[in-house]
A = this chain, B = another copy of it.
């Protein structure tokens, strides 16, 4: 059952190498050779663990995304959306470097797609009330909005506190979905 120690070590090295490279370069521009050299691993060894580059990225992202979605799901349906948003931002804040890489680095497209799929699956399981907003647009909207705000946040040099972003998220993303028709400030 327990995996060979070398196996674990090599995969960790590859994952770490990809993350390191993603901080500098777009995913598409990274070559397998760069990854293996950075990881201090033989070139062919890469393919003994992953069928290709994309598989490594997926493996890497999938784990984190699964965790994030467990926190993000309530954002869509929670009764207390503000608390949910705050929890979400606190999670991202505590994995700041990783998520910074995932969202602002070259993997953004993959992560966005992966998140959409995950969120869609969750939403499908909880059919919401019939609404002025189609259900799947709701998902696209929520995921897109969250990613946009988080990406912006993680790009800031002196970042805002997670509580402030949580509040912004709540107002920008959740608000208009639950709120009634637009009402202007006086």
Contact = CB atoms under 8 A, between A and B. Distances in A.
Nearest to A145: B145
A65 to B, nearest CB: 18
Contact of A141 (B136, B172, B177, B185): B172
Given A109-B109, A137-B149, A148-B145, A174 B178 contact: no
Contacts of A172: 133, 141, 176-177
A184 interface: yes
A174 B183 CA distance: 11
A4 interface: no
A90 interface: no
Given A175-B179, A178-B185, A185-B179, A140 B168 contact: no
A12 to B, nearest CB: 25
A136 B152 contact: yes
A171 interface: yes
A180 B184 CA distance: 7
B144 A148 contact: yes
A26 to B, nearest CB: 10
A28 interface: yes
A140 B177 CA distance: 19
Contacts of A175: 175-176, 179, 182
Contacts of A109: 109
A127 interface: no
Contacts of A151: 140
A46 to B, nearest CB: 20
Contacts of A147: 144
Interface of A: 28, 109, 132-133, 136-137, 140-141, 144-145, 147-149, 151-152, 168, 170-185
5 contacts: A133-B168, A133-B172, A140-B149, A144-B145, A175-B182
